[in-house]
Structure 1
Protein backbone atom coordinates (compact mmCIF):
# COMPACT_ATOMS: atom_id res chain seq x y z
CA UNK A 1 0.00 0.00 0.00
CA UNK A 2 1.50 3.32 -1.11
CA UNK A 3 1.38 6.63 0.77
CA UNK A 4 2.55 9.96 -0.66
CA UNK A 5 4.60 11.94 1.87
CA UNK A 6 6.52 15.17 2.02
CA UNK A 7 10.19 14.05 2.27
CA UNK A 8 10.71 16.73 4.93
CA UNK A 9 8.48 14.73 7.28
CA UNK A 10 10.35 11.42 7.11
CA UNK A 11 12.34 12.19 10.26
CA UNK A 12 9.07 12.88 12.10
CA UNK A 13 7.71 9.46 11.13
CA UNK A 14 10.97 7.80 12.18
CA UNK A 15 10.40 9.11 15.71
CA UNK A 16 8.16 6.36 17.06
CA UNK A 17 7.29 8.26 20.23
CA UNK A 18 6.07 11.31 18.33
CA UNK A 19 4.31 9.31 15.60
CA UNK A 20 2.91 6.49 17.75
CA UNK A 21 -0.71 7.39 16.93
CA UNK A 22 0.04 7.26 13.20
CA UNK A 23 1.15 3.63 13.50
CA UNK A 24 -1.52 2.69 16.04
CA UNK A 25 1.06 2.16 18.79
CA UNK A 26 0.44 2.74 22.48
CA UNK A 27 2.17 2.20 25.84
CA UNK A 28 5.62 2.45 24.24
CA UNK A 29 8.59 1.61 26.46
CA UNK A 30 12.20 2.18 25.41
CA UNK A 31 14.37 -0.90 25.15
CA UNK A 32 18.02 -1.34 24.22
CA UNK A 33 16.98 -1.59 20.58
CA UNK A 34 13.60 -0.15 19.70
CA UNK A 35 10.42 -0.12 21.77
CA UNK A 36 7.97 -2.56 23.26
CA UNK A 37 4.34 -1.53 23.06
CA UNK A 38 0.82 -2.51 22.08
CA UNK A 39 -1.36 -2.37 18.99
CA UNK A 40 -5.14 -2.58 19.18
CA UNK A 41 -6.70 -4.36 16.21
CA UNK A 42 -10.17 -5.90 15.81
CA UNK A 43 -10.93 -5.08 19.47
CA UNK A 44 -7.88 -7.06 20.64
CA UNK A 45 -4.71 -5.59 22.16
CA UNK A 46 -1.51 -7.30 21.05
CA UNK A 47 2.03 -6.87 22.33
CA UNK A 48 4.48 -5.72 19.67
CA UNK A 49 8.10 -4.71 19.20
CA UNK A 50 8.80 -1.60 17.10
CA UNK A 51 12.12 -0.44 15.70
CA UNK A 52 13.63 1.88 13.10
CA UNK A 53 16.57 1.08 10.84
CA UNK A 54 17.52 3.66 8.26
CA UNK A 55 14.25 4.82 6.70
CA UNK A 56 12.41 1.61 7.55
CA UNK A 57 9.99 1.15 10.46
CA UNK A 58 9.16 -2.39 11.60
CA UNK A 59 6.37 -3.41 13.96
CA UNK A 60 6.34 -7.11 14.90
CA UNK A 61 3.74 -8.96 16.97
CA UNK A 62 5.45 -10.77 19.85
CA UNK A 63 4.33 -14.23 18.66
CA UNK A 64 5.03 -13.54 15.01
CA UNK A 65 1.38 -13.27 13.93
CA UNK A 66 2.28 -10.34 11.71
CA UNK A 67 5.03 -7.88 10.83
CA UNK A 68 4.37 -4.38 9.51
CA UNK A 69 7.15 -2.93 7.34
CA UNK A 70 7.01 0.76 6.44
CA UNK A 71 9.58 2.02 3.93
CA UNK A 72 9.59 5.79 4.38
CA UNK A 73 10.18 7.86 1.28
CA UNK A 74 8.28 10.35 -0.87
CA UNK A 75 6.29 7.34 -2.12
CA UNK A 76 6.21 5.39 1.14
CA UNK A 77 5.23 1.73 1.05
CA UNK A 78 3.40 -0.09 3.84
CA UNK A 79 3.45 -3.90 3.86
CA UNK A 80 2.01 -6.40 6.33
CA UNK A 81 3.61 -9.84 6.33
CA UNK A 82 1.67 -12.64 7.98
CA UNK A 83 0.62 -16.25 7.51
CA UNK A 84 -1.80 -16.60 4.60
CA UNK A 85 -4.53 -17.82 6.94
CA UNK A 86 -4.31 -14.51 8.84
CA UNK A 87 -4.07 -12.17 5.86
CA UNK A 88 -7.77 -11.31 5.89
CA UNK A 89 -7.38 -10.12 9.50
CA UNK A 90 -4.15 -8.16 9.35
CA UNK A 91 -3.77 -6.95 5.74
CA UNK A 92 -6.18 -4.01 6.33
CA UNK A 93 -3.50 -2.56 8.62
CA UNK A 94 -1.68 -1.51 5.45
CA UNK A 95 -4.54 0.77 4.44
CA UNK A 96 -4.96 2.24 7.93
CA UNK A 97 -1.28 3.10 8.39
CA UNK A 98 -0.87 4.40 4.83
CA UNK A 99 -3.93 6.61 5.27
CA UNK A 100 -2.63 7.94 8.61
CA UNK A 101 0.79 8.71 7.11
CA UNK A 102 -0.74 10.69 4.26
CA UNK A 103 -3.19 12.57 6.48
CA UNK A 104 -0.58 13.55 9.05
CA UNK A 105 1.92 14.56 6.36
CA UNK A 106 -0.82 16.70 4.80
CA UNK A 107 -1.54 18.20 8.21
CA UNK A 108 2.13 19.10 8.65
CA UNK A 109 2.09 20.71 5.19
CA UNK A 110 -0.98 22.83 5.67
CA UNK A 111 -1.30 23.78 9.31
CA UNK A 112 0.11 27.09 10.44
CA UNK A 113 2.29 26.25 13.42
CA UNK A 114 2.73 28.87 16.08
CA UNK A 115 5.93 28.58 18.05
CA UNK A 116 6.74 30.27 21.31
CA UNK A 117 9.67 32.66 21.16
CA UNK A 118 11.59 33.93 24.15
CA UNK A 119 8.80 32.70 26.47
CA UNK A 120 6.50 35.47 25.24
CA UNK A 121 3.68 33.03 24.50
CA UNK A 122 1.38 32.96 21.51
CA UNK A 123 0.93 35.95 19.26
CA UNK A 124 -2.81 36.44 19.81
CA UNK A 125 -3.77 34.83 23.12
CA UNK A 126 -2.43 34.87 26.63
CA UNK A 127 -2.12 31.19 27.63
CA UNK A 128 -1.69 31.99 31.32
CA UNK A 129 -5.40 32.86 31.46
CA UNK A 130 -6.59 29.87 29.48
CA UNK A 131 -8.90 27.10 30.64
CA UNK A 132 -7.19 23.81 29.73
CA UNK A 133 -8.90 20.72 28.34
CA UNK A 134 -6.62 17.66 28.07
CA UNK A 135 -8.06 15.28 25.45
CA UNK A 136 -4.90 13.33 24.69
CA UNK A 137 -5.42 9.61 24.33
CA UNK A 138 -9.07 9.80 23.21
CA UNK A 139 -10.47 9.29 19.71
CA UNK A 140 -13.21 10.98 17.69
CA UNK A 141 -15.87 12.05 18.36
CA UNK A 142 -14.80 12.75 21.98
CA UNK A 143 -12.53 15.75 21.14
CA UNK A 144 -15.35 17.32 19.11
CA UNK A 145 -18.00 16.78 21.78
CA UNK A 146 -15.90 18.05 24.67
CA UNK A 147 -14.54 21.06 22.76
CA UNK A 148 -18.02 22.14 21.66
CA UNK A 149 -19.27 21.89 25.24
CA UNK A 150 -16.32 23.93 26.52
CA UNK A 151 -16.80 26.65 23.88
CA UNK A 152 -20.53 26.92 24.49
CA UNK A 153 -20.12 27.14 28.26
CA UNK A 154 -17.31 29.72 28.05
CA UNK A 155 -17.70 33.36 28.94
CA UNK A 156 -17.33 35.89 26.12
CA UNK A 157 -13.65 36.20 25.08
CA UNK A 158 -12.57 33.44 27.45
CA UNK A 159 -9.52 31.52 26.21
CA UNK A 160 -9.64 27.72 26.03
CA UNK A 161 -6.66 25.45 25.41
CA UNK A 162 -7.35 21.97 24.04
CA UNK A 163 -4.57 19.36 24.08
CA UNK A 164 -5.17 16.62 21.51
CA UNK A 165 -3.10 13.86 19.87
CA UNK A 166 -5.71 12.24 17.60
CA UNK A 167 -4.65 13.02 13.98
CA UNK A 168 -8.20 13.33 12.54
CA UNK A 169 -9.16 15.71 15.36
CA UNK A 170 -6.06 17.83 14.70
CA UNK A 171 -6.42 17.87 10.93
CA UNK A 172 -10.18 18.09 10.49
CA UNK A 173 -12.46 18.09 13.52
CA UNK A 174 -11.22 20.95 15.72
CA UNK A 175 -10.67 23.39 12.82
CA UNK A 176 -14.26 22.59 11.77
CA UNK A 177 -15.45 23.32 15.31
CA UNK A 178 -13.66 26.68 15.24
CA UNK A 179 -15.28 27.61 11.92
CA UNK A 180 -18.73 26.48 13.08
CA UNK A 181 -18.56 28.66 16.19
CA UNK A 182 -16.73 31.54 14.49
CA UNK A 183 -13.81 31.26 16.92
CA UNK A 184 -10.36 32.69 16.52
CA UNK A 185 -7.84 29.93 17.11
CA UNK A 186 -4.18 29.00 16.88
CA UNK A 187 -2.39 25.66 16.79
CA UNK A 188 0.92 24.84 18.43
CA UNK A 189 2.86 21.71 17.45
CA UNK A 190 4.24 19.96 20.53
CA UNK A 191 5.67 16.95 18.72
CA UNK A 192 3.45 14.08 19.84
CA UNK A 193 0.38 16.27 20.37
CA UNK A 194 -1.03 19.65 19.36
CA UNK A 195 -2.46 22.49 21.42
CA UNK A 196 -5.47 24.35 20.03
CA UNK A 197 -6.11 27.73 21.62
CA UNK A 198 -9.60 29.13 21.07
CA UNK A 199 -10.97 32.56 21.89
CA UNK A 200 -14.73 32.46 21.85
CA UNK A 201 -17.70 32.00 24.12
CA UNK A 202 -21.17 33.40 23.73
CA UNK A 203 -24.44 33.37 25.59
CA UNK A 204 -27.15 31.11 24.22
CA UNK A 205 -30.86 31.07 24.96
CA UNK A 206 -32.23 27.71 26.16
CA UNK A 207 -33.06 25.25 23.40
CA UNK A 208 -36.72 24.55 22.78
CA UNK A 209 -37.56 20.97 21.82
CA UNK A 210 -39.52 22.33 18.86
CA UNK A 211 -36.36 24.01 17.49
CA UNK A 212 -34.42 20.77 17.16
CA UNK A 213 -35.21 20.03 13.51
CA UNK A 214 -34.15 23.53 12.46
CA UNK A 215 -31.09 23.68 14.71
CA UNK A 216 -29.67 20.35 13.55
CA UNK A 217 -29.66 21.63 9.94
CA UNK A 218 -27.97 24.94 10.75
CA UNK A 219 -24.16 24.81 10.64
CA UNK A 220 -23.88 27.82 12.92
CA UNK A 221 -26.57 26.75 15.40
CA UNK A 222 -25.98 23.01 15.83
CA UNK A 223 -23.71 23.75 18.77
CA UNK A 224 -26.84 24.56 20.80
CA UNK A 225 -27.52 20.83 20.95
CA UNK A 226 -24.28 20.25 22.86
CA UNK A 227 -25.18 23.00 25.29
CA UNK A 228 -28.60 21.45 25.92
CA UNK A 229 -27.58 17.78 25.95
CA UNK A 230 -24.58 18.45 28.13
CA UNK A 231 -23.98 15.16 29.95
CA UNK A 232 -22.67 11.91 28.47
CA UNK A 233 -24.60 9.19 30.29
CA UNK A 234 -23.41 6.14 28.36
CA UNK A 235 -20.78 5.14 25.81
CA UNK A 236 -20.79 2.07 23.59
CA UNK A 237 -18.24 0.60 21.18
CA UNK A 238 -19.86 -1.41 18.42
CA UNK A 239 -18.59 -3.10 15.27
CA UNK A 240 -21.70 -2.49 13.13
CA UNK A 241 -24.04 0.48 13.15
CA UNK A 242 -27.73 -0.35 13.47
CA UNK A 243 -30.80 1.92 13.85
CA UNK A 244 -31.63 -0.03 17.02
CA UNK A 245 -28.83 1.94 18.70
CA UNK A 246 -31.16 4.96 18.56
CA UNK A 247 -33.99 3.25 20.41
CA UNK A 248 -33.68 4.79 23.86
CA UNK A 249 -36.28 5.98 26.33
CA UNK A 250 -36.81 9.65 27.08
CA UNK A 251 -35.21 12.69 25.46
CA UNK A 252 -31.61 12.18 24.33
CA UNK A 253 -29.00 13.08 21.75
CA UNK A 254 -26.90 10.30 20.25
CA UNK A 255 -23.55 10.97 18.61
CA UNK A 256 -21.81 8.20 16.66
CA UNK A 257 -18.56 8.11 14.73
CA UNK A 258 -16.04 5.46 13.66
CA UNK A 259 -12.42 5.66 14.75
CA UNK A 260 -10.74 8.12 12.40
CA UNK A 261 -14.00 10.07 12.03
CA UNK A 262 -14.93 8.99 8.52
CA UNK A 263 -18.41 10.27 9.34
CA UNK A 264 -20.30 11.84 12.23
CA UNK A 265 -23.95 11.10 12.99
CA UNK A 266 -25.93 13.36 15.34
CA UNK A 267 -29.47 12.27 16.22
CA UNK A 268 -32.09 13.51 18.67
CA UNK A 269 -34.62 10.94 19.86
CA UNK A 270 -37.61 10.94 22.15
CA UNK A 271 -39.07 7.72 23.55
CA UNK A 272 -37.37 5.50 20.94
CA UNK A 273 -38.49 7.68 18.01
CA UNK A 274 -36.16 9.85 15.95
CA UNK A 275 -36.93 13.56 16.08
CA UNK A 276 -34.12 14.67 13.76
CA UNK A 277 -30.78 13.38 12.52
CA UNK A 278 -27.79 14.77 10.66
CA UNK A 279 -24.88 12.99 8.97
CA UNK A 280 -21.63 14.82 8.19
CA UNK A 281 -19.68 12.74 5.69
CA UNK A 282 -16.88 14.81 4.18
CA UNK A 283 -18.59 17.63 2.30
CA UNK A 284 -21.87 15.70 2.21
CA UNK A 285 -24.70 16.52 4.63
CA UNK A 286 -27.70 14.19 4.94
CA UNK A 287 -30.68 14.48 7.26
CA UNK A 288 -33.23 12.32 9.05
CA UNK A 289 -33.96 8.94 7.39
CA UNK A 290 -31.39 9.57 4.64
CA UNK A 291 -28.71 10.06 7.29
CA UNK A 292 -29.62 6.89 9.19
CA UNK A 293 -29.90 4.79 6.03
CA UNK A 294 -26.48 5.92 4.81
CA UNK A 295 -24.61 4.62 7.88
CA UNK A 296 -26.76 1.57 8.64
CA UNK A 297 -24.56 -1.49 8.27
CA UNK A 298 -21.30 0.47 8.52
CA UNK A 299 -18.59 -1.67 10.10
CA UNK A 300 -15.48 -0.86 12.09
CA UNK A 301 -14.84 0.36 15.62
CA UNK A 302 -17.74 2.78 16.08
CA UNK A 303 -18.08 4.95 19.18
CA UNK A 304 -21.65 5.77 20.22
CA UNK A 305 -22.33 8.39 22.91
CA UNK A 306 -25.67 8.92 24.63
CA UNK A 307 -26.17 12.45 25.97
CA UNK A 308 -28.93 13.96 28.07
CA UNK A 309 -29.70 17.33 29.58
CA UNK A 310 -28.71 17.81 33.22
CA UNK A 311 -31.20 20.64 33.65
Structure 2
Protein backbone atom coordinates (compact mmCIF):
# COMPACT_ATOMS: atom_id res chain seq x y z
CA UNK A 1 0.00 0.00 0.00
CA UNK A 2 1.33 3.44 -0.94
CA UNK A 3 2.25 5.69 1.97
CA UNK A 4 1.85 9.45 2.05
CA UNK A 5 4.84 11.59 1.23
CA UNK A 6 6.39 13.54 4.12
CA UNK A 7 6.04 16.86 2.26
CA UNK A 8 6.97 19.06 5.22
CA UNK A 9 10.13 17.06 5.88
CA UNK A 10 11.04 17.09 2.18
CA UNK A 11 10.50 20.83 2.07
CA UNK A 12 12.82 21.33 5.04
CA UNK A 13 15.40 19.05 3.37
CA UNK A 14 15.31 21.17 0.18
CA UNK A 15 15.69 24.45 2.08
CA UNK A 16 18.56 23.21 4.25
CA UNK A 17 20.25 21.70 1.20
CA UNK A 18 20.06 25.06 -0.60
CA UNK A 19 21.31 27.13 2.32
CA UNK A 20 23.58 24.74 4.22
CA UNK A 21 22.09 26.03 7.45
CA UNK A 22 19.16 25.00 9.61
CA UNK A 23 18.86 28.54 10.96
CA UNK A 24 18.62 30.08 7.48
CA UNK A 25 16.19 27.40 6.31
CA UNK A 26 13.99 28.04 9.34
CA UNK A 27 13.95 31.76 8.55
CA UNK A 28 12.92 31.05 4.94
CA UNK A 29 10.12 28.74 6.11
CA UNK A 30 9.02 31.03 8.97
CA UNK A 31 9.42 28.25 11.56
CA UNK A 32 11.83 27.62 14.42
CA UNK A 33 15.25 25.95 13.88
CA UNK A 34 14.10 23.19 16.26
CA UNK A 35 11.15 22.40 13.97
CA UNK A 36 13.45 22.13 10.93
CA UNK A 37 15.90 19.89 12.83
CA UNK A 38 13.05 17.60 13.87
CA UNK A 39 11.81 17.26 10.27
CA UNK A 40 15.30 16.43 9.01
CA UNK A 41 15.64 13.74 11.71
CA UNK A 42 12.24 12.28 10.77
CA UNK A 43 13.22 12.14 7.10
CA UNK A 44 16.58 10.52 7.80
CA UNK A 45 14.88 7.99 10.07
CA UNK A 46 12.37 7.19 7.37
CA UNK A 47 14.93 6.56 4.63
CA UNK A 48 17.37 5.02 7.13
CA UNK A 49 20.38 6.97 5.98
CA UNK A 50 22.11 10.26 6.63
CA UNK A 51 21.27 13.07 4.23
CA UNK A 52 23.58 15.70 5.70
CA UNK A 53 27.07 15.75 7.15
CA UNK A 54 27.36 18.05 10.14
CA UNK A 55 30.41 20.33 9.86
CA UNK A 56 31.58 23.36 11.81
CA UNK A 57 30.60 25.67 8.94
CA UNK A 58 27.10 24.19 8.64
CA UNK A 59 25.49 21.24 6.93
CA UNK A 60 26.69 19.58 3.73
CA UNK A 61 24.63 17.15 1.65
CA UNK A 62 25.85 13.56 1.73
CA UNK A 63 26.24 11.68 -1.54
CA UNK A 64 22.73 10.25 -1.13
CA UNK A 65 21.24 13.65 -0.26
CA UNK A 66 23.00 15.36 -3.17
CA UNK A 67 21.67 12.74 -5.61
CA UNK A 68 18.00 13.58 -4.91
CA UNK A 69 18.17 17.26 -3.95
CA UNK A 70 17.97 18.72 -7.53
CA UNK A 71 14.87 16.67 -8.39
CA UNK A 72 13.13 17.62 -5.14
CA UNK A 73 14.06 21.28 -5.61
CA UNK A 74 12.55 21.22 -9.11
CA UNK A 75 9.42 19.48 -7.83
CA UNK A 76 8.79 22.16 -5.20
CA UNK A 77 9.42 24.91 -7.77
CA UNK A 78 6.83 23.30 -10.05
CA UNK A 79 4.35 23.10 -7.18
CA UNK A 80 4.92 26.79 -6.48
CA UNK A 81 4.29 27.61 -10.13
CA UNK A 82 1.07 25.60 -10.00
CA UNK A 83 -0.06 27.51 -6.92
CA UNK A 84 0.77 30.80 -8.64
CA UNK A 85 -1.39 29.74 -11.57
CA UNK A 86 -4.29 28.95 -9.26
CA UNK A 87 -3.94 32.31 -7.54
CA UNK A 88 -3.94 34.03 -10.93
CA UNK A 89 -7.11 32.18 -11.93
CA UNK A 90 -8.73 33.13 -8.63
CA UNK A 91 -7.86 36.81 -9.06
CA UNK A 92 -9.07 36.92 -12.67
CA UNK A 93 -12.71 37.94 -12.93
CA UNK A 94 -15.04 37.39 -15.87
CA UNK A 95 -17.88 39.59 -17.00
CA UNK A 96 -20.53 38.82 -19.63
CA UNK A 97 -21.98 41.88 -21.37
CA UNK A 98 -24.97 41.62 -23.70
CA UNK A 99 -25.93 44.32 -26.21
CA UNK A 100 -27.28 44.76 -29.72
CA UNK A 101 -24.85 44.12 -32.59
CA UNK A 102 -24.79 47.68 -33.94
CA UNK A 103 -24.05 49.25 -30.57
CA UNK A 104 -21.38 46.65 -29.90
CA UNK A 105 -19.65 47.21 -33.26
CA UNK A 106 -19.92 50.98 -33.50
CA UNK A 107 -19.56 52.10 -29.88
CA UNK A 108 -18.66 49.48 -27.27
CA UNK A 109 -16.01 47.32 -28.94
CA UNK A 110 -13.84 50.22 -30.22
CA UNK A 111 -13.63 51.52 -26.62
CA UNK A 112 -13.27 48.19 -24.85
CA UNK A 113 -9.46 48.24 -24.98
CA UNK A 114 -9.52 51.19 -22.57
CA UNK A 115 -11.40 49.11 -20.03
CA UNK A 116 -8.96 46.22 -20.48
CA UNK A 117 -6.03 48.55 -19.82
CA UNK A 118 -7.62 49.91 -16.67
CA UNK A 119 -8.82 46.53 -15.38
CA UNK A 120 -6.53 43.84 -16.84
CA UNK A 121 -7.77 41.28 -14.29
CA UNK A 122 -11.34 41.46 -15.62
CA UNK A 123 -12.09 39.42 -18.74
CA UNK A 124 -15.05 40.79 -20.72
CA UNK A 125 -17.18 38.53 -22.90
CA UNK A 126 -19.47 40.43 -25.30
CA UNK A 127 -22.66 38.81 -26.59
CA UNK A 128 -24.35 40.63 -29.46
CA UNK A 129 -28.09 39.98 -29.36
CA UNK A 130 -31.29 41.99 -29.36
CA UNK A 131 -33.36 39.19 -27.82
CA UNK A 132 -35.27 39.71 -24.60
CA UNK A 133 -33.03 38.25 -21.93
CA UNK A 134 -33.29 36.59 -18.57
CA UNK A 135 -30.11 37.87 -16.92
CA UNK A 136 -29.87 35.11 -14.34
CA UNK A 137 -30.83 32.24 -16.66
CA UNK A 138 -28.55 33.46 -19.48
CA UNK A 139 -25.72 34.26 -17.05
CA UNK A 140 -25.51 37.87 -18.24
CA UNK A 141 -23.87 40.30 -15.83
CA UNK A 142 -24.60 43.57 -17.66
CA UNK A 143 -27.02 44.22 -20.52
CA UNK A 144 -26.87 47.40 -22.60
CA UNK A 145 -30.32 47.76 -24.13
CA UNK A 146 -32.09 50.23 -26.42
CA UNK A 147 -35.64 51.00 -25.44
CA UNK A 148 -37.83 52.97 -23.05
CA UNK A 149 -36.12 51.70 -19.91
CA UNK A 150 -38.98 49.46 -18.77
CA UNK A 151 -37.33 46.29 -17.44
CA UNK A 152 -39.34 44.96 -14.47
CA UNK A 153 -37.52 43.63 -11.43
CA UNK A 154 -34.12 44.74 -12.77
CA UNK A 155 -31.81 47.62 -11.89
CA UNK A 156 -31.95 50.17 -14.75
CA UNK A 157 -29.70 53.21 -15.37
CA UNK A 158 -29.96 55.43 -18.44
CA UNK A 159 -26.68 55.43 -20.35
CA UNK A 160 -27.33 57.87 -23.19
CA UNK A 161 -29.98 58.96 -25.68
CA UNK A 162 -28.73 58.75 -29.26
CA UNK A 163 -29.17 61.60 -31.73
CA UNK A 164 -30.97 60.49 -34.88
CA UNK A 165 -30.04 61.89 -38.30
CA UNK A 166 -31.44 61.14 -41.78
CA UNK A 167 -28.92 59.46 -44.09
CA UNK A 168 -28.78 57.88 -47.55
CA UNK A 169 -26.21 56.67 -50.03
CA UNK A 170 -24.62 59.25 -52.38
CA UNK A 171 -26.05 57.33 -55.35
CA UNK A 172 -29.58 57.50 -53.94
CA UNK A 173 -29.26 61.24 -53.33
CA UNK A 174 -27.91 61.84 -56.82
CA UNK A 175 -31.03 60.24 -58.31
CA UNK A 176 -33.61 62.39 -56.48
CA UNK A 177 -34.25 66.13 -56.19
CA UNK A 178 -32.40 67.91 -53.41
CA UNK A 179 -34.13 67.65 -50.04
CA UNK A 180 -34.81 71.10 -48.60
CA UNK A 181 -37.11 70.43 -45.64
CA UNK A 182 -38.00 67.42 -43.45
CA UNK A 183 -41.36 66.94 -45.18
CA UNK A 184 -39.53 66.34 -48.47
CA UNK A 185 -38.43 62.94 -47.11
CA UNK A 186 -42.02 61.70 -47.34
CA UNK A 187 -41.79 61.67 -51.14
CA UNK A 188 -39.21 58.88 -51.14
CA UNK A 189 -38.65 55.38 -49.77
CA UNK A 190 -38.16 55.36 -46.03
CA UNK A 191 -36.22 52.68 -44.16
CA UNK A 192 -37.24 51.84 -40.57
CA UNK A 193 -36.15 49.96 -37.51
CA UNK A 194 -38.50 47.28 -36.20
CA UNK A 195 -40.66 49.76 -34.22
CA UNK A 196 -41.46 51.96 -37.24
CA UNK A 197 -41.81 54.91 -34.84
CA UNK A 198 -38.72 57.05 -35.39
CA UNK A 199 -39.64 58.68 -38.71
CA UNK A 200 -43.05 59.82 -37.45
CA UNK A 201 -41.53 61.18 -34.24
CA UNK A 202 -38.66 62.90 -36.10
CA UNK A 203 -41.04 64.53 -38.58
CA UNK A 204 -43.37 65.68 -35.78
CA UNK A 205 -40.41 67.13 -33.87
CA UNK A 206 -39.63 69.25 -36.95
CA UNK A 207 -43.17 70.53 -37.41
CA UNK A 208 -44.44 68.13 -40.06
CA UNK A 209 -48.09 67.17 -39.74
CA UNK A 210 -48.98 63.51 -39.19
CA UNK A 211 -48.79 61.63 -42.47
CA UNK A 212 -49.38 57.90 -43.13
CA UNK A 213 -46.41 57.88 -45.50
CA UNK A 214 -44.11 58.17 -42.48
CA UNK A 215 -44.82 54.52 -41.61
CA UNK A 216 -44.43 52.93 -45.04
CA UNK A 217 -41.26 51.22 -46.23
CA UNK A 218 -39.02 48.31 -45.28
CA UNK A 219 -38.25 47.67 -41.61
CA UNK A 220 -35.13 46.03 -40.18
CA UNK A 221 -34.59 44.30 -36.85
CA UNK A 222 -31.22 45.90 -36.19
CA UNK A 223 -29.55 49.23 -37.03
CA UNK A 224 -26.67 47.33 -38.61
CA UNK A 225 -29.04 45.99 -41.28
CA UNK A 226 -30.75 49.36 -41.56
CA UNK A 227 -27.43 51.07 -42.29
CA UNK A 228 -26.46 48.40 -44.81
CA UNK A 229 -29.77 48.91 -46.64
CA UNK A 230 -29.17 52.66 -46.77
CA UNK A 231 -25.65 52.07 -48.09
CA UNK A 232 -27.16 49.88 -50.82
CA UNK A 233 -29.32 52.80 -51.98
CA UNK A 234 -32.67 51.37 -50.89
CA UNK A 235 -33.95 54.61 -49.34
CA UNK A 236 -33.62 57.18 -46.58
CA UNK A 237 -32.78 55.90 -43.13
CA UNK A 238 -33.06 57.57 -39.74
CA UNK A 239 -30.19 56.24 -37.64
CA UNK A 240 -28.21 57.05 -34.55
CA UNK A 241 -25.45 59.46 -35.55
CA UNK A 242 -22.88 57.47 -33.58
CA UNK A 243 -23.77 54.26 -35.41
CA UNK A 244 -23.28 55.78 -38.86
CA UNK A 245 -20.23 57.91 -38.05
CA UNK A 246 -17.78 55.60 -39.84
CA UNK A 247 -19.96 55.25 -42.96
CA UNK A 248 -20.47 59.03 -43.19
CA UNK A 249 -16.74 59.70 -42.74
CA UNK A 250 -15.92 57.16 -45.47
CA UNK A 251 -18.46 58.67 -47.89
CA UNK A 252 -20.63 55.54 -48.04
CA UNK A 253 -23.50 57.53 -46.49
CA UNK A 254 -24.35 61.22 -46.42
CA UNK A 255 -26.42 63.12 -43.89
CA UNK A 256 -29.21 64.47 -46.07
CA UNK A 257 -30.48 67.21 -43.74
CA UNK A 258 -28.94 69.01 -40.80
CA UNK A 259 -31.85 68.07 -38.57
CA UNK A 260 -30.62 65.97 -35.64
CA UNK A 261 -33.17 64.88 -33.09
CA UNK A 262 -32.83 63.25 -29.65
CA UNK A 263 -34.49 59.87 -29.91
CA UNK A 264 -37.36 58.92 -27.63
CA UNK A 265 -35.61 55.61 -27.06
CA UNK A 266 -32.37 55.57 -25.09
CA UNK A 267 -29.65 53.12 -24.16
CA UNK A 268 -29.89 51.69 -20.67
CA UNK A 269 -27.60 49.70 -18.40
CA UNK A 270 -29.59 46.75 -17.07
CA UNK A 271 -28.38 44.47 -14.27
CA UNK A 272 -29.83 42.17 -11.64
CA UNK A 273 -30.58 44.10 -8.42
CA UNK A 274 -27.72 42.44 -6.54
CA UNK A 275 -25.14 42.61 -9.35
CA UNK A 276 -23.66 45.97 -8.34
CA UNK A 277 -22.31 44.35 -5.18
CA UNK A 278 -19.72 42.60 -7.37
CA UNK A 279 -16.55 44.63 -7.93
CA UNK A 280 -16.20 43.70 -11.60
CA UNK A 281 -19.78 44.72 -12.42
CA UNK A 282 -19.43 48.00 -10.56
CA UNK A 283 -16.13 48.72 -12.36
CA UNK A 284 -17.65 48.09 -15.79
CA UNK A 285 -20.80 50.13 -15.13
CA UNK A 286 -18.76 53.10 -13.86
CA UNK A 287 -16.44 52.85 -16.86
CA UNK A 288 -19.21 52.61 -19.48
CA UNK A 289 -21.01 55.61 -17.99
CA UNK A 290 -17.75 57.56 -18.08
CA UNK A 291 -17.33 56.64 -21.74
CA UNK A 292 -20.87 57.69 -22.53
CA UNK A 293 -20.31 61.09 -20.95
CA UNK A 294 -17.21 61.53 -23.07
CA UNK A 295 -19.05 60.73 -26.31
CA UNK A 296 -21.93 63.16 -25.82
TM more than 0.5: no
TM-score (ref. length: structure 2): 0.25
Relative CO higher for 1 or 2, CA cutoff 8 Å, sep ≥ 6? 2
Q: Per residue, is there more strand in 1 or in 2?
A: 1
Q: Per residue, is there more helix in 1 or in 2?
A: 2
